[in-house]
Structure 1
Amino acid sequence: MSPLKIFQSLLLISLMGTCFGEKILFLLPLASRSHVHVFEPLMKALGERGHEIVNLSPMESKNMPPTVRQLQLITVEDLTGKMPDPFEQRKLGTLRAMTNSSSIEHMHKACIKFYENPQLSEVLKNEKFDLIIIDIFLNYCVLGVIPHFNASSILVSTMAAPSYLSNIFGNRLQPSFVPCAFLKYTDQMSFLERLINTVLDSVFAIMWDRMFVERSEEMYRKYLPNGDQLPNIAEIQANSSMMFMNSHFTLNYPRPLLPDVIEVGGMHTRPAKKLPKDLDDFLSNSGKDGFILFSLGSVVKAKNMPEESRKIFLNVFSRLKQRVIWKWETETMPDLPPNVKLSKWLPQQDVLGHPNIRLFMTHGGLLSTQESVYHGVPVLGIPVFGDQDLNVMQAERGGYAKMVEIIDITEEKLENTILELINNPTYAQKAQALSKLVKDLPQTPLDKAVYWTEYVLRHKGAPHLRSAARDLNFFQYYVLDVAAVLIVLLVLIIYLISCCCKTIYRRTCGNKATRNVHLKKE
Structure 2
Amino acid sequence: MMKIFITVLLFLTTAFLAESAKILGVFPVPGRSHYILGSTLLKALAEKGHDVTMISCFGEKDPPKNGTYRDVVISGLLEAMQDHVNKDQVNMFDREASNPFTTSVFIGFMMPQVMEMILKHENVQKLINSDEKFDVVIVEQFLNDAQKALSTHFGAPLITFNPVGPNYWINPLVGNPSPLSYVANVMLDYTAPMTFSQRLMNTLLSVFNELFYNLYMFPAQNKMLKKYLPNGLDLYDVLYNTSIVLMNSHSSINQAVPYVPNMIEIGGFHVKPPKKLPNDLQEFLDNSKNGVIYFSMGSNLKSVELPIDKRNAILSTFSKLKENVLWKWEDDSLPGQPPNVKLSKWLPQQDILAHPNVKLFITHGGYLSTTETIYHGVPILAIPIFGDQKMNALTAANSGYGLVVPYSQLTEEKLTSTIHEILKNNKYRENAKLRSKLFHDRLVSPMDTAIYWVEYVIRHKGAPYLRVAGLDLPWYQYHLLDVIAFIVLIGSCFLFTFYYLTKIICKKLFFKNSRKLKKQ
- Please identify, of 68-77 and 45-54, the stretch whose mean Cα deviation from structure 2 is larger: 68-77
Deviation at 1:342, TM superposition (A): 0.9
Counterpart Cα distance in 1 of 2:494 and 2:409: 61
Counterpart Cα distance in 2 of 1:175 and 1:52: 42
Counterpart Cα distance in 2 of 1:64 and 1:120: 25
Deviation at 1:180, TM superposition (A): 0.8
**Which of 164, 178, 184 is residue 159 of structure 1 equivalent to?**
164
Deviation at 1:109, TM superposition (A): 4.7
**Which of 180, 183, 202 is residue 178 of structure 1 equivalent to?**
183
Counterpart Cα distance in 1 of 2:51 and 2:505: 82
C-alpha contact 2:119 2:228 (8 A) present in aligned 1: no
Deviation at 1:60, TM superposition (A): 2.4
SS at structure 2 position matched to 1:126 = coil
Deviation at 1:390, TM superposition (A): 0.5
Please say if 1:99 is aligned against 2:105. yes
**Which of 154, 158, 166 is residue 149 of structure 1 equivalent to?**
154
Counterpart Cα distance in 2 of 1:452 and 1:172: 22
- The AA in structure 2 aligned to 1:89 is R
Cα distance change on mapping 1:201 and 1:15 into 2, 3 Å? closer
2:197 — aligned with what? 192
Please say if 1:134 is aligned against 2:149. no
**Which of 88, 93, 115 is residue 87 of structure 1 equivalent to?**
93
SS at structure 2 position matched to 1:429 = helix
Which whole-Å deviations, capped at 9, do the CAs of 1:258-291 have from their partners, x for residues lacking one?
101122211112332221111100111001x100
Counterpart Cα distance in 2 of 1:509 and 1:210: 59
Cα distance change on mapping 1:107 and 1:290 into 2, 3 Å? farther
1:6 — aligned with what? none
Deviation at 1:91, TM superposition (A): 3.7
Deviation at 1:15, TM superposition (A): 13
Deviation at 1:361, TM superposition (A): 0.6
**Which of 244, 247, 253 is residue 245 of structure 1 equivalent to?**
247
1:33 — aligned with what? 32
Which whole-Å deviations, capped at 9, do the CAs of 1:47-93 have from their partners, x for residues lacking one?
12222110001112334244221121235444455343211222434
Cα distance change on mapping 1:54 and 1:285 into 2, 3 Å? same
1:3 — aligned with what? none
- The AA in structure 2 aligned to 1:86 is M
Deviation at 1:306, TM superposition (A): 1.2
- The AA in structure 1 aligned to 2:233 is L
C-alpha contact 1:324 1:340 (8 A) present in aligned 2: yes
C-alpha contact 2:111 2:143 (8 A) present in aligned 1: no
Question: What's the Cα RMSD here?
Answer: 2.3
C-alpha contact 1:79 1:110 (8 A) present in aligned 2: no
Counterpart Cα distance in 1 of 2:172 and 2:244: 12
Counterpart Cα distance in 1 of 2:208 and 2:326: 41
1:18 — aligned with what? 17
Counterpart Cα distance in 2 of 1:420 and 1:47: 46
Cα distance change on mapping 1:453 and 1:407 into 2, 3 Å? same
- Please identify, of 30-39 and 489-498, the stretch whose mean Cα deviation from structure 2 is larger: 30-39
Please say if 1:111 is aligned against 2:116. yes
Counterpart Cα distance in 1 of 2:283 and 2:141: 42
- The AA in structure 1 aligned to 2:64 is M
Which whole-Å deviations, capped at 9, do the CAs of 1:376-433 have from their partners, x for residues lacking one?
0010101111110011011111111111122441111111111111111111011011
1:64 — aligned with what? 64
C-alpha contact 1:291 1:325 (8 A) present in aligned 2: yes
Identity over aligned pairs, percent: 37
Cα distance change on mapping 1:113 and 1:156 into 2, 3 Å? closer
C-alpha contact 1:27 1:135 (8 A) present in aligned 2: yes
Count of residues paired in the alignment: 502
SS at structure 1 position matched to 2:294 = strand
- The AA in structure 2 aligned to 1:29 is P
Cα distance change on mapping 1:479 and 1:117 into 2, 3 Å? same
- The AA in structure 2 aligned to 1:230 is L
Counterpart Cα distance in 2 of 1:174 and 1:162: 11
C-alpha contact 2:298 2:364 (8 A) present in aligned 1: yes
Counterpart Cα distance in 1 of 2:101 and 2:261: 31
**Which of 262, 265, 273 is residue 263 of structure 1 equivalent to?**
265
2:10 — aligned with what? none
C-alpha contact 1:31 1:138 (8 A) present in aligned 2: no
SS at structure 2 position matched to 1:133 = strand
Counterpart Cα distance in 1 of 2:180 and 2:251: 17
- The AA in structure 2 aligned to 1:267 is F
C-alpha contact 1:51 1:67 (8 A) present in aligned 2: yes
C-alpha contact 1:24 1:131 (8 A) present in aligned 2: yes
Describe how 1:116-515 pairs up with structure 2 within 5 A: 116-118=121-123, 120-209=125-214, 212-226=217-231, 229-232=232-235, 234-287=236-289, 289-515=290-516
Cα distance change on mapping 1:458 and 1:110 into 2, 3 Å? closer
2:51 — aligned with what? 52
- Please identify, of 134-143 and 165-174, the stretch whose mean Cα deviation from structure 2 is larger: 134-143
Structure 2 length as normaliser, TM-score? Answer: 0.91
- Please identify, of 473-482 and 211-220, the stretch whose mean Cα deviation from structure 2 is larger: 211-220
- The AA in structure 2 aligned to 1:459 is H
SS at structure 2 position matched to 1:143 = helix
C-alpha contact 2:28 2:118 (8 A) present in aligned 1: no
Cα distance change on mapping 1:217 and 1:376 into 2, 3 Å? same
SS at structure 2 position matched to 1:299 = coil
- Please identify, of 162-171 and 364-373, the stretch whose mean Cα deviation from structure 2 is larger: 162-171
Deviation at 1:140, TM superposition (A): 3.0
C-alpha contact 2:137 2:158 (8 A) present in aligned 1: yes
- Please identify, of 351-360 and 474-483, the stretch whose mean Cα deviation from structure 2 is larger: 474-483
Deviation at 1:133, TM superposition (A): 0.6
Counterpart Cα distance in 2 of 1:54 and 1:308: 46
SS at structure 2 position matched to 1:36 = helix
C-alpha contact 1:359 1:379 (8 A) present in aligned 2: yes
SS at structure 2 position matched to 1:163 = coil
Cα distance change on mapping 1:388 and 1:95 into 2, 3 Å? farther
- The AA in structure 2 aligned to 1:55 is M
Cα distance change on mapping 1:122 and 1:92 into 2, 3 Å? closer
C-alpha contact 1:382 1:403 (8 A) present in aligned 2: yes
Counterpart Cα distance in 2 of 1:166 and 1:31: 24
Counterpart Cα distance in 1 of 2:109 and 2:330: 26
C-alpha contact 2:297 2:328 (8 A) present in aligned 1: yes
Counterpart Cα distance in 2 of 1:206 and 1:79: 28
C-alpha contact 1:147 1:231 (8 A) present in aligned 2: no
